[in-house]
A and B are shown apart, each in its own frame.
Chain A
Amino acid sequence: MTWFKRQSGELDTSGEKKVRTEGLWVKCESCRQIIWKKDLEENLNVCPKCDKHFRIDARTRLANLLDDNQYEVFDADLVSTDPLKFVDLKAYSSRLKQAQADTGLKDAVINARGKLNGRPVVISAMEYAFIGGSMGAVVGEVITRAIEHATDSKAPIIIVSASGGARMMEGAISLMQLAKISAALARLDEANVPYISVLTDPTTGGVTASFAMLGDLNIAEPGALIGFAGPRVIEQTIRQKLPQGFQRSEFLLEHGMLDAVVHRRQMKAYIARALEFMDQSSVVRRQSSA
């Protein structure tokens, strides 16, 4: 349940690590081709050569999913109290300040209200660049509020996950957010309001072990790392090499853990179709006309 992978001794807090930026050109880590940056962006940050899905930030996510890039952000005013006054080699409070300066966000998620193919929806989009998208009290509260808002307004909710899991610098408080959000999802379920969980690279730890796996539909982008334990922890535990493609979207699909793996270009259409299917007003209409 940790929020980042250990690499090269540095904290992986940049969601953009895989994109090597040298001016106008980007090298794709997957196919090693040099791509013109503008081509990549016009292609929704998917490699035009090999289809690798680059990580994108929460705002880009909202722009991709909501009509005309029009939406209203809510609950953006919550900040962490650093409840444990956590200090390791660095103070958590200074990590927070740094992340806030880097992302322009107060914490690792954005709540938005907008329309998806004309249908009012609520979206919570996680921001991996904010301390590995980790979930502390603020992320837990913001997502819970989005779910409660969806429950009350009967607007479908889409949660786009990108997170290393619970934020250890808020200790047990972070852990309790798993229970809190899952409890809110139980109420949403009872109110018959649709919930689409979109899992993107990476979704691991406590986020996977709570709301990311509890959608009416759980769908993922291709090639996303999705799991409970991190690959390194598993390797150390079982003392053997992990198979190719382990814990990637396609692996989860094969093992029955996902409803679909959906290309970024088709994501909005797929969600729109699902929401149409789940729309109760059309059920009532058809029943009454029968």
Chain B
Amino acid sequence: MKAVPAVANPALVVTSADFLLSMVEARWTARNGDGSKMETGIRAQQELEKIEQQIAKLQAAPGQNEETRGQIQQLRDRIHALRQQVSLHRNAWEKTELARHPQRPYTLDYVERIFTDWSEIHGDRGFADDPAIVCGMARFHGEDVMVIGHQKARDTKQKVYRNFGMPNPEGYRKALRAMKIAEKWGRPVLTFVDTPGAYPGLGAEERGQAEAIARNLREMARLRVPIITTITGEGGSGGALAIAVADRVLMMENTIYSVISPEGCASIMWRDATKKDLAAQALHITAKDLSELGCIDDIVPEPEGGAHLDHEAAAALLDEALVKHFAQVRALPAAELVASRYNKFRHMAQFLQVEA
């Protein structure tokens, strides 16, 4: 541990934090209810993080008096209250930003915290190993499972290596291979979805991106072991669904699942990519939306402010949800499991029957 330097003037830090916080509070209160100031929530969130960091520094420093400690607690209470307000009113675009937050936990962050005995498996046995999807054997509370997930990265070199979490066909073929291994040996499959989408590249098309996704959809539908999917960040269209035909599909509180990105939709339907906030709203992409549409089974809460602020707490909350659903699907015989998975997707339908 490094020695924490004393803060020169604690009173000044408190005053400045108080001032900044008042500004954020005032702007939030003045926020327009009609959604015309959609960026406010994200900005408020970022500023709260900054203020919190200053307070944390002050708190960690030695030699504060009783008064300072009291003031710090008051500031923390106000931050907490405002954060709850902000998260209650988070709109679809704000959720999109959170779902893409570079500090959000990625698949391997969850693997580290939720599973033990991780042994990664690689390659599609045909062309390459795709680092945009990771697969591996692991133990979940002592039980053998196969873990499969998109993998994003934080620094530039790693981002390129992981292709920003956008798989090529090899990634989907590796995932299916891992699922078949799990099926052969009777182990449940847990998948974690966080991708902008399947990679739209030349090689991907040449090697059959569409075929790879399609095959996964069909084979997952009849896999004879339990499958639980969690959307942990971005659920980008077919590239997400290709590992998400599951007995249970969970979405974390601040994630999205969509047929097209808000930007893509905006540039096509509004002919203006800056209308992404309107598109995000119109597309119904939040966990709450998907739950109301009957496309997912559960919403997993995140720590206050979002999973990016506390990986440990986010993993603990996800673990709790997984334990619950794991117990439910684990109990079902294979035939029943496959039948109920079929029925679940079979009834994702909304139409009216009229006179022909």
Among the listed stretches A1-9, A18-26, A27-35, A53-61, which one makes contact with chain B, having 4 or more residues with CB under 8 Å of it? Answer: A1-9
**A88 contacts across to B, CB distance below 8 A:** 269-270, 278-279, 282
For B205, give its contact among A79, A89, A228 (CB under 8 Å): A228
What's the nearest-Cβ distance from chain B to residue A128, in Å? Answer: 17
Q: How far is the CA of A282 from the CA of B257 in the complex (A)?
A: 47
**A187 contacts across to B, CB distance below 8 A:** 222, 342
What's the nearest-Cβ distance from chain A to residue B120, in Å? Answer: 26
Q: How far is the CA of A168 from the CA of B283 in the complex (A)?
A: 7
**Does A183 lie within 8 Å of B345, measured CB to CB?**
yes
Q: How far is the CA of A279 from the CA of B199 in the complex (A)?
A: 39
Q: How far is the CA of A190 from the CA of B219 in the complex (A)?
A: 11
For A213, give its contact among B215, B268, B279 (CB under 8 Å): B215
**Does B350 lie within 8 Å of A2, measured CB to CB?**
no
Q: How far is the CA of A118 from the CA of B118 in the complex (A)?
A: 57
- List which A177-202 residues lie within 8 A (CB) of chain B: 177-180, 182-187, 189-190
**B213 contacts across to A, CB distance below 8 A:** 209-210, 228
Q: Please, how many residues of chain A have a CB less than 8 angstroms from a CB on the other chain? A: 70
Q: How far is the CA of A240 from the CA of B202 in the complex (A)?
A: 10
Known: A77-B353, A89-B269. Is A177-B348 also a contact (CB below 8 A)? yes
Residues 1-22 of chain B, each 1 if its beta carbon lies under 8 Å from chain A, else 0: 0000000000000000000000
**Does B222 lie within 8 Å of A186, measured CB to CB?**
yes
**A137 contacts across to B, CB distance below 8 A:** 348-351
Among the listed stretches B29-37, B104-112, B132-140, B259-267, which one makes contact with chain A, having 4 or more residues with CB under 8 Å of it? Answer: B259-267
- Chain B residue with Cβ nearest A240: B202
State whether the Cβ of B210 lies closer than 8 Å to any Cβ in chain A: yes
State whether the Cβ of B285 lies closer than 8 Å to any Cβ in chain A: yes
- List which A150-164 residues lie within 8 A (CB) of chain B: none
**Does B282 lie within 8 Å of A81, measured CB to CB?**
no
**B244 contacts across to A, CB distance below 8 A:** 179
**Does A141 lie within 8 Å of B351, measured CB to CB?**
yes
State whether the Cβ of A78 lies closer than 8 Å to any Cβ in chain B: yes
**B222 contacts across to A, CB distance below 8 A:** 183, 186-187, 190
What's the nearest-Cβ distance from chain B to residue A70, in Å? Answer: 18
For B210, give its contact among A86, A106, A208, A243 (CB under 8 Å): A208
What's the nearest-Cβ distance from chain B to residue A211, in Å? Answer: 7
State whether the Cβ of B258 lies closer than 8 Å to any Cβ in chain A: yes
State whether the Cβ of A223 lies closer than 8 Å to any Cβ in chain B: no
- List which A239-263 residues lie within 8 A (CB) of chain B: 240, 242-243, 246-247, 255-257
Known: A77-B353, A84-B283. Is A172-B205 also a contact (CB below 8 A)? no
- List which B190-218 residues lie within 8 A (CB) of chain A: 198-202, 204-211, 213-215, 217-218
Q: How far is the CA of A254 from the CA of B198 in the complex (A)?
A: 22
Q: How far is the CA of A81 from the CA of B352 in the complex (A)?
A: 6
**Does B345 lie within 8 Å of A171, measured CB to CB?**
no
What's the nearest-Cβ distance from chain B to residue A260, in Å? Answer: 15
**Does A106 lie within 8 Å of B207, measured CB to CB?**
no
**Does B353 lie within 8 Å of A78, measured CB to CB?**
yes
Q: How far is the CA of A57 from the CA of B353 in the complex (A)?
A: 24
Question: Count the A-B residue pairs with Cβ separation under 8 angstroms: how many?
Answer: 210
**A179 contacts across to B, CB distance below 8 A:** 217, 221, 241, 244-245, 345, 348
**Does A173 lie within 8 Å of B238, measured CB to CB?**
no
What's the nearest-Cβ distance from chain A to residue B283, in Å? Answer: 5
- Chain A residue with Cβ nearest B201: A238
- List which B275-298 residues lie within 8 A (CB) of chain A: 278-279, 282-285, 289-290, 293, 295
Q: How far is the CA of A190 from the CA of B198 in the complex (A)?
A: 28
**Does B218 lie within 8 Å of A255, measured CB to CB?**
no
**B125 contacts across to A, CB distance below 8 A:** none
**Does A234 lie within 8 Å of B201, measured CB to CB?**
yes
Q: How far is the CA of A255 from the CA of B205 in the complex (A)?
A: 9
**Does A144 lie within 8 Å of B346, measured CB to CB?**
yes
**Does A175 lie within 8 Å of B237, measured CB to CB?**
yes
- Chain B residue with Cβ nearest A175: B259
**A206 contacts across to B, CB distance below 8 A:** 237-238, 259
- Which among A77, A88, A242 has the highest number of chain B CB atoms within 10 Å? A88
Known: A179-B245, A183-B245. Is A247-B295 also a contact (CB below 8 A)? no
**Does B214 lie within 8 Å of A213, measured CB to CB?**
yes
**Does B238 lie within 8 Å of A175, measured CB to CB?**
yes
For A180, give its contact among B211, B260, B346 (CB under 8 Å): B346
**B88 contacts across to A, CB distance below 8 A:** none
State whether the Cβ of B355 lies closer than 8 Å to any Cβ in chain A: yes
**A180 contacts across to B, CB distance below 8 A:** 345-346, 348-349
State whether the Cβ of A124 lies closer than 8 Å to any Cβ in chain B: no
**A177 contacts across to B, CB distance below 8 A:** 348
**A209 contacts across to B, CB distance below 8 A:** 198, 209-210, 213-214, 217, 238, 242
**B217 contacts across to A, CB distance below 8 A:** 178-179, 182-183, 209-210
**B26 contacts across to A, CB distance below 8 A:** none
What's the nearest-Cβ distance from chain B to residue A77, in Å? Answer: 4
CB-CB nearest 5 A-B residue pairs: A229-B200, A183-B221, A182-B217, A88-B269, A208-B210
30 interchain pairs, CB-CB under 8 A:
A2-B260, A6-B268, A9-B271, A78-B352, A80-B350, A81-B351, A81-B352, A86-B282, A86-B283, A141-B349, A168-B265, A168-B268, A168-B283, A172-B285, A172-B293, A173-B295, A175-B257, A178-B241, A179-B244, A180-B345, A180-B349, A183-B221, A186-B218, A186-B219, A187-B222, A213-B211, A227-B205, A228-B238, A230-B200, A256-B208
List chain B positions with a Cβ less than 8 A from chain A.
Answer: 198-202, 204-211, 213-215, 217-219, 221-222, 237-238, 241-242, 244-245, 257-260, 264-265, 268-271, 278-279, 282-285, 289-290, 293, 295, 341-342, 345-346, 348-356
